[in-house]
Structure 1
Amino acid sequence: MVGRRRRGSNSESGLRSLPFDRKLAYFDGEFNRLRRERRLPESPSDQLRVLEPLLRCGARRPPGPSTFRLAAGVLLLLLPTCLLLHSGPAARFLSFCGRALLIQLLPYWDWTLYSNTQDCLIRNPYYTARGLESLQPADCINVCQKYPAVESLQKVDPKVVLQKYLRQNLPLVITDGTEEWAALREFTVPFLTRLFNGHSMLQNTIVCSYWDSHNSLEKSPSAFLEKIHDQRLAHWAIQWKNCNKAAAKVIRGFYQRPYFLPPVVELAESNWLLMASQAENRTPVDMFVKVGDHDGDLLMWIAQLQGVFEVQLLPKDICANNCTHYTLELSPGEIVAVPLQMWEVQYRPLSSTAIGLAATGNWLQDSR
C-alpha cells in the first residue's frame, strides 16, 4: 500500500527553509488570493484585526548570525570581568580603593567608631596568630645570666628592640615613649570618671576581664570610678580590658602606637586601664595585681600615666627554677615592654594614685 503524502507538512518545512524576503513574497501572494476569493472581511478595520497577529509575528525577525556573534562577544567580555571581581587580586584592589576613599573622609567624619572591618588593608607577612612555643630551659638560663637588670633606653631604633630584646625574651623600659600622648596629660581619676559616665559608647559597652579590689557587684568601671571620685574608698585597685572594638577606639584616641615597636608587631585591638591607690599610711598595698587574659599574644606594654607603679616580671613555669623575678618602678611617661612567652606581669601602686595604660601584640617569633 502506498502511503498518503503529508502535503501540508512538506510545504511547511519548505517554507521555513526559504529566505526572509521570499517568505514575505509568499505571504503577499496568499493575501491577494484571499482577497480575490473574498475570504477576507470587507471592512479595512476588520481586515487589520484579522491580520494583526500575523503582522506582529512577522515583525520579529529571527536572529541572524551577526546577532549570535554579538551576544557571544558580550558574554566573553562579561565572563572575565565577573571572574576577576570574585578573585583575590581584583577584590583586594576594589577594597583598597574603597578604604583609601574612607581615609580621605576621616577629617570630616570619624567613621571608625562604626566600622567592624576585620580584614587588614595590607596583610602583615610577619604576623602569626600564636607564637612558636619553642622556649627551652636553656633559653631561660641564657636570658637570666646575660641580663641581670631591665635596661632603660630612649630614642631607640625599633629594629634593635625587635632583634635584641623582644625576640630574645628580654624586657626593657622606654623612657620617652609617651611624650606626645594626650593620655599622659589628661588621664586622672576625675577625667576618667567623666569620660566613662558621659561617653555614650563607653556607657553602652561591657568591658572584659574586669577586676577590682572591693569585689563590686556592678562590675562596672563607671560605678567604681564614681566611688573613688567621691572619696568613699580609702585604698583600692581596679583594672579592666576594653575588648569592645568601638570602646577600645575611644581610648586609642588618647594615645598613639608606641614608636619603638617595629612594623612587624601587630597590636591587638583591645587595651587595658590599670588604676590603684596606696593606703593612707603610705605603705604599699601588700597585694600585687596580675595582668592576665593575653589571648596568646607575645608582647605586653604598660605605659605609666600618673603616679608610680612597682612592676614585677615573674618567670613562667619552665623558667621558674633558673630565673628570679625582675622588679622595677615605672614613673610617668615610661613604658615597659614585656615578652609574654617567658614573663608574667603584676603591679602595685607606690603613690597615692597610679594610673597605667596597657595593650598586647604579636609578631613572628622565628628570627629568620
Structure 2
Amino acid sequence: MNPKNMDNMTQREKFQLLNSEVRSFYEYCKEVGMSDDDMDVICRPLMHAVRRATIKRWRNIFLICAVFVIFGYIVCQTDTFQWNAAAVGRLTLIKLLPFWNWTPLYYNKCIVERLPLQNFNSEPVSTNDCIACEAIQNIARISKTDHNEVLNHHLLRGAPVIVNDAYHDWATGEYNLTGLVSNDDRLRESVPCRILTNIRIGKQPMDLQEIVSRITESNIPSWFIHFQNCDLRAVKTFRVLAPRPYFLSPEIPPSHFNWLLLSKNYDTQRFKYLEFDIGLIIMTQLKGKNYIQLKPRMPCENICSPIKIELQQSETLVLSNSLWEFEYMPGKGENLAMITETDWVES
C-alpha cells in the first residue's frame, strides 16, 4: 500500500485494511501448517504492544480526569467562584418563585424534623418540673464567677443569672454593623431566617446587606428590628460582637444560631416574643438597654411568677429556657443586643 494513499484513507478504511491483512496472515499461517501455539509466539510482541497502548490510553484518561478534578476543586474553593455561584443560584431561585415556592424549605431549620424536638413537644413540662422555678422571684447579678457557680448555683435550679463582667477583657466601643457586613462578601448575601421590624422591608427574602441598608438609610425617627442568623457563615462572623464568655466550660459547644436586636428611639409598651430552641440562651447587651420578661411555660404559669429584667449595657443574661419563654422590649435611645442559642442539656 502506498503511504500517500494511507494518508488519504479514513480511520474506518485503515481499520478495515488492517483487519484484512491480519486475516490474510492468519490464513497463510494455517496453510503452512503452523499450530495455534506457534502463532501465539509469533504474535506475542504485537499483543504486548496492543496491551501497552491500551494501558497508556487509560492512564492518560485517568491523569486528564484527575487534573480536571483537582483544577475544579481549587477553583471551587476561591471566593470569586463561590460568590458568583451563590449569586447565580440566588437569581435562579428567585426566578423559580412564580412556579415553585421554595421559601418554606429555606426557612425551616431542618428538612426532616428532628425527633428530639418532636419528643419534647409531645412531652410538655410537667408540674413536677415547676418546683425548680416556683421560688424564683428575682435574678442575681454576679461577677468574677466561673462555670461551676453559674451552672450549679443558678442554671441547674432553673434560675437565670446576670453576669456583669462577662467580657471584662473585651474593649468596649462603637459597633460598626455596616462595616462588618460590607467587608464580607459571603456575609452580605446571607439571608436571616426570622425577621421582625416596623420598617417597610419589601419583598422577602432580604439579605443582610439590604437589611443594614434599610436601617442606616432610613429617615424613620423610631424603629426596631430583630433577626435570627441560621447561616453558619453569618453565625460565625457575628460571634466577634460577643465572644465566648470566660465562665463557660469548654465542654459546652459553640452557638448554632444567634440573634441581633437593634432599635432606635422605639417607645413601646409591648414585649416582642422570641422563639428559641430549647437549650442554653445567652443575651449580651452591647449598647443601650432592653427590658426582658421571662414567662413560665405551661403548666407552670400558675405556679411560677414571671420575671422582669432591665438588662443594661455590658451585662449578660444566661438562662436555660426549658422552663421559660422569652420576651423583650426595647429601651429608649439606641440599643444593640446579641443573643446566642446553644445545644445544651441540663445534667
Instruction: Give the TM-score normalised by structure 2.
Output: 0.61
Cα deviations by residue, 1:110-143 (Å, 9 ceiling, x for unpaired): 9xx99xxxxxxxxxxxxx9669767432432442
Secondary structure in structure 2 of the residue aligned to 1:317: coil
**Out of 234, 257, 264, which is 1:247 matched to?**
234
The Cα shift of 1:198 comes to 4.5
The Cα shift of 1:56 comes to 7.8
2:305 aligns with 324
Secondary structure in structure 2 of the residue aligned to 1:363: coil
The Cα shift of 1:230 comes to 3.4
For residues 16-165 of structure 1, what are the structure 2 equivalents within 5 Å?
53-54=40-41, 135-145=125-135, 147-165=136-154
2:297 maps to a residue whose letter is: K
Structure 1 contact 276–353 (Cα < 8 Å) conserved:
yes
Report the Cα distance in structure 1 between the residues aligned to 2:209 and 2:294, rounded to whole angstroms. Answer: 29
Structure 1 contact 162–262 (Cα < 8 Å) conserved:
no
The Cα shift of 1:51 comes to 5.4
2:163 aligns with 174
Report the Cα distance in structure 2 between the residues aligned to 1:265 and 1:319, rounded to whole angstroms. Answer: 28
1:323 maps to a residue whose letter is: C
For the pair shown, the structure with the greater C-alpha radius of gyration is: 1
The Cα shift of 1:356 comes to 0.4
Report the Cα distance in structure 2 between the residues aligned to 1:250 and 1:321, rounded to whole angstroms. Answer: 41
The Cα shift of 1:272 comes to 1.0
Instruction: Give the TM-score normalised by structure 1.
Output: 0.58
The Cα shift of 1:352 comes to 0.6
Aligned identity (percent) is 24
Mark the CA change 1:134 to 1:164 in structure 2 (over 3 Å): closer, same or farther. farther
2:247 aligns with 260
Are residues 1:200 and 2:181 paired? no
Structure 2 contact 242–338 (Cα < 8 Å) conserved:
no
Runs of 5+ in structure 2 lacking a partner? 1-31, 45-77, 84-114
Report the Cα distance in structure 1 between the residues aligned to 2:263 and 2:203, rounded to whole angstroms. Answer: 18
Are residues 1:210 and 2:206 paired? no
Structure 1 contact 278–285 (Cα < 8 Å) conserved:
no
Mark the CA change 1:350 to 1:53 in structure 2 (over 3 Å): closer, same or farther. closer
Structure 2 contact 242–284 (Cα < 8 Å) conserved:
no
The Cα shift of 1:179 comes to 2.8
The Cα shift of 1:277 comes to 2.0
Structure 2 contact 263–336 (Cα < 8 Å) conserved:
yes
Secondary structure in structure 2 of the residue aligned to 1:320: helix
Are residues 1:289 and 2:279 paired? no
Are residues 1:360 and 2:347 paired? no
1:303 maps to a residue whose letter is: T
2:270 maps to a residue whose letter is: M
Aligned CA RMSD, in angstroms, stands at 3.4
Runs of 5+ in structure 1 lacking a partner? 1-39, 42-46, 58-108, 115-127
2:173 aligns with 185
2:209 maps to a residue whose letter is: S
The Cα shift of 1:273 comes to 0.7
